[in-house]
Amino acid sequence: MDEAENARRPIVIAHRGASAYRPEHTLAGYLLAIEQGADYIEPDLVITKDHVLVCRHENEISGTTNVADHPEFTDRRKSKTVDGAEAVGWWVEDFTLAELKTLRARERIPQLRPDNAHYDDTYEIPTFAEALALARQHGKGIYPELKHPTFLRECGVDPVPAFVAAVNEAGGQNAANIMYVQCFEIGAIQALAQMSSIQWSCIQLAAAEGGPWDQRGTSYAEMLAGDGLRRIREYAVGVGVEKSLVIPRDGANNLGAPTDLVARAHAKNLLVHAWTFRPENYFLPNALRIGVTSAQETLRLHGNLDAELRAFYAAGLDGVFSDDSVAAVAART
């Protein structure tokens, strides 16, 4: 494959690691994804009480760690409202890094991924610095997401300067790969884009519904319509979108016709990366499910993810976030 062809090839982003095979956001999961051929590993970043970025899908960790089994942390359980949603649990910003390192990761959706649950209580919670070092060691890219930056900043633990410090302390980006950084909010991404010594490229995330928490008068639909893409291009090199915005599903839960989003984004010189591609029947269109009955266990089985990926690659995507890097790499050939 020549350099020009390689540059056009969609990238495979290991969504939270090899999430179909190991608990999310563990160094073991990131390493397995690298071994499976992913171009990038994707750590979601939240921040500790002592201002260290760690890799968790959410700052509430009762479902992804064994924190409830630690009696010394019983009194840390509390209710918080994050971006308008109330939850009760244990929160990363209430722990120091040393305290978090005493916890172990657990599978987030064991009902669909029981094999992953066999690894429960095995792996530590990694720091962003550890994930970055792993990616650099193996010559791979890293694609972090800043979670809830407004909420965390208001709690006194701002993830933006912590992110900049972590990258600088690691010696900057891996020269072999662009570092992308993504967020559903706007302000954090704009702040990173405006820095004079940029070592990363910014991606604006957008869901099929709702809007950025830090600009509550704006919807993602508005951001992706009309002149919205031009405004995104002023601070970002691409958009990371929910896959239904690229190819929606019909009333029978099957793939419909592609939208014009990719073409419109490309016309504004924006990359389009879509999320999330998962192998289990539960997440696939009905026509691509294999061996499905109404029984719960059949929804755990892996269906025809290859066909779904190929349809989205054909729609012109520049990258995919996938829980199964093996399938995502194979489908783009």
Q: Is the pLDDT of residue 265 over 50?
A: yes
Indicate the fold that domain 3-61+124-331 takes in CATH.
TIM Barrel (3.20.20)
Average pLDDT, integer, range 11-18: 98
- 253: closest CA among 296, 216, 295, 303? 303
The position carrying tokens 């942390």 is 73
Give me the helix-helix angle, 159-169 and 128-137, nearest 10°. Answer: 40
Q: Is the pLDDT of residue 328 over 60?
A: yes
Q: Quick one: pLDDT at residue 197?
A: 57
Q: Quick one: pLDDT at residue 102?
A: 98
Q: Quick one: pLDDT at residue 28?
A: 98
61-79, pLDDT tens digit by residue?
A: 999 999 999 999 999 999 9
Q: Is the pLDDT of residue 4 over 50?
A: no
Catalytic position from the list 25, 51, 57, 273:
57
CA neighbours closer than 13 Å in the CB half-sphere of residue 303: 25
Is 118 considered catalytic here?
A: no
Q: Is the pLDDT of residue 2 over 80?
A: no
Full-model pTM: 0.95
Alpha carbon distance 206, 223 (integer Å): 8
Alpha carbon distance 63, 81 (integer Å): 17
**Beta carbons of 43 and 140 less than 8 angstroms apart:** no
Q: Which amino acid is at 117?
A: A
Phi and psi at residue 21, in whole multiples of 5°? -130, -15
The position carrying tokens 């540059």 is 7
Is 70 considered catalytic here?
A: no
Which range is least confidently modeled, 1-5, 88-92, 181-185, 190-194?
1-5
Q: Quick one: pLDDT at residue 293?
A: 67
Torsion of CA 91, 25, 46, 43, to 10 degrees: -170
Q: Is the link from the previous residue into 276 a cis peptide, with omega within 30 of 0?
A: yes
Q: Is the pLDDT of residue 310 over 70?
A: yes
**Beta carbons of 136 and 174 less than 8 angstroms apart:** yes
pLDDT band of 36, cuts 50, 70, 90: very high
Average pLDDT, integer, range 20-45: 98
Q: Quick one: pLDDT at residue 1?
A: 44
The ranges assigned to domains in the chain are 3-61+124-331
199-223, pLDDT tens digit by residue?
A: 899 999 999 999 999 999 999 999 9
Q: How far is CA 308 from the centre of its chain?
A: 19
267 vs 199, more confident: 267
